[in-house]
Amino acid sequence: MKFGITAKLFCAMLAACAVVLVVNGVATRIVFERGFMGYLNDQGTGRMEHLLPRLEAEYRKHGSWEFVRGQPDAWFTLLRPSEIDASDLELRAPPVSDQSGAVFRFALLDVHGQRVIGNPDIGNEDVRRAIVVDGRTVGWMAMVPFQRVLAANERAFIEQQQQRWWAIGIACVLVAATLAWLLSRALLRRLRGLATATHRLSAGDYATRIEAGRDDEIGGLARDFNRMADALDSTERNRRAFMADISHELRTPLAVLRAELEAIQDGIRPMTPATLAPLQGEVQQLGKLIDDLHDLALTQSGALAYQRSALDVGAVLRSTLDGMRGRFAGAGLAVMAPDDGAPLTLLGDERRLQQLFANLLENALRYTDAGGVVAVQAQAVDGQARIVIEDSAPGVDADKRMRLFERFYRVEGSRNRASGGSGLGLAICHNIVLAHDGVIATEPSALGGLRIVLTLPLAA
């Protein structure tokens, strides 16, 4: 038979309550018998110890126990507390041992263990103290335990209280069982909702969400589930958009290639260097797109190998910029380069940093109007290498700057002309910066265009 979580939780809580009830009952009985009863017996034992010197003195005085045998008045006179005078006996409370009936449980035994006077129920297993006179045992002081002298009605009262206690305990178990059943049902209802939502999510329904409800562990699990569903939903949308973008980016140059090749095959266009040049350009664009896709996949998965070494990032930036000066000049753009200053040493991969700076400078080159300016800065700020690359008009709206590092995203308008870009360069830059434990951000430029700020940790 297979037990569900409701039955398991119910049985666990019921068993816990039953165990607590049994332990409590046994512990109460032990505490009562060994605690309260023991306390009363200890009071009597203490009184016995207090009376022994008086009994020893009386025996030494009379030479035997005959003076007290069959003499209840003499016996109770011996047992009377010495600190209470007969004149004020009614004015002062007797000791606790007397109030608990210890005096009536005492008995005097001779040297052979035969009762002289006192409680006739004395047995061989009762509490005894030797009476020693001049190093010789002359008798015994004995006491019947409190448990043995309980009256029948007192025993019945104790048993009745125990029965009532067990009845109360059973009632408590039943209440606990009812509460456990209600709690397990409520808990199971929430868990079933979570399980149903999980099955729907695993089946591809990424719009599934769970009402968190109470602020407890299951509510926290529901909120985590919703965050996971959001992430999966976003990943699925990105996957679909990515596939659509790839197909679009590949379709355009392939369509041009096919049209040009069909024109050449049909004899519409002759096969000359002039007609082959556009085909070569489309092939190069396809190759660039494939290379960018490969780099993006490697940087996102963390599989891209980084050969880190101590290097001057300012020198890497200036070297990359020097290699592109001719292109900037050909595009009619003025370049404001950083001055040679103190080295900005950090641990990084020189090749990947060159790729990073080349992509950022390429972006500025492509999307800055002729006659504009591209300014580059590099300096140390609070233990960080701060690199700024900004350009003049056209600018980028604030709501669009946040998406510049998304793959295949291009800003519509003046910065989205047929420049040959794949829309992956800034996404690759973002991953390279993260791999170097840095931060990349975009801001509006005072020159009228886009300002990209990099911060990379310097070596200690």
What's the CATH number where 262 sits?
1.10.287.130
Q: State residue 174's pLDDT score.
A: 81
Query: Which of 149, 170, 187 corresponds to the end of one domain?
Result: 149
Q: Is residue 177 part of a domain?
A: no
Query: Which of 102, 121, 149 corresponds to the end of one domain?
Result: 149
Pair (346, 285) in one structural domain: no
Pair (289, 328) in one structural domain: no
Q: Report the alpha-carbon distance of residue 331 to residue 326 in Å, rounded.
A: 9
Q: State residue 150's pLDDT score.
A: 61
**The two structure tokens encoding residue 340:** 């040679």
Q: Is residue 313 part of a domain?
A: yes
Percent of the chain at pLDDT > 90 equals: 7
The structure tokens 């500025």 sit at: 364
**The two structure tokens encoding residue 387:** 């690199």
Q: Is residue 218 part of a domain?
A: no
Pair (30, 93) in one structural domain: yes
- What CATH number did the domain enclosing 381 receive? 3.30.565.10
Pair (313, 453) in one structural domain: yes
Q: Is residue 63 part of a domain?
A: yes
Q: Report the alpha-carbon distance of residue 352 to residue 338 in Å, rounded.
A: 20
Identify whether the C-beta of residue 97 lies closer than 8 Å to the C-beta of residue 83.
no
Pair (234, 354) in one structural domain: no
Q: Is residue 260 part of a domain?
A: yes
Q: Is 62 helix (H, G, I), strand (E, B) or coil?
A: helix
Q: Is residue 157 part of a domain?
A: no
Q: Report the alpha-carbon distance of residue 129 to residue 46 in Å, rounded.
A: 11
Pair (23, 108) in one structural domain: yes
Q: In which domain, by residue range, is 411 found?
A: 309-457
Q: Is residue 95 part of a domain?
A: yes
Specify which residues 136 forms β-bridges with.
133
Q: Is residue 176 part of a domain?
A: no
Query: Which of 93, 124, 149 corresponds to the end of one domain?
Result: 149
Q: Report the alpha-carbon distance of residue 284 to residue 422 in Å, rounded.
A: 12
pLDDT digits (tens, 9 = 90+) for 223-273: 888 888 888 887 787 777 667 767 766 776 788 788 888 888 888 888 888
β-pair type (106-110, 115-118): antiparallel
Mean of pLDDT over the chain: 78
Pair (327, 453) in one structural domain: yes
Which backbone phi and psi does 309 adopt, to 5 degrees? -155, 165
Which range has the worst mean pLDDT, 179-188, 314-323, 347-356, 363-372?
179-188
Q: Which of 203, 224, 68 is nearest to 138 (CA)?
A: 68
Pair (316, 437) in one structural domain: yes
Pair (101, 23) in one structural domain: yes
For the chain, what is the domain count? 3
Q: State residue 417's pLDDT score.
A: 40
Identify whether the C-beta of residue 386 lies closer than 8 Å to the C-beta of residue 455.
yes
**The two structure tokens encoding residue 355:** 């790729």
Return the H-helix or E-strand segment holding 60. helix 37-62
pTM over 0.75: no
CB atoms within 10 A of CB 319: 13
Q: State residue 94's pLDDT score.
A: 54
227 exposed, middle or buried (CB, 10 Å; 0-12, 13-18, 19+)? Answer: exposed
Pair (284, 345) in one structural domain: no
Pair (81, 128) in one structural domain: yes
**The two structure tokens encoding residue 334:** 């003025």
The structure tokens 């009256």 sit at: 151
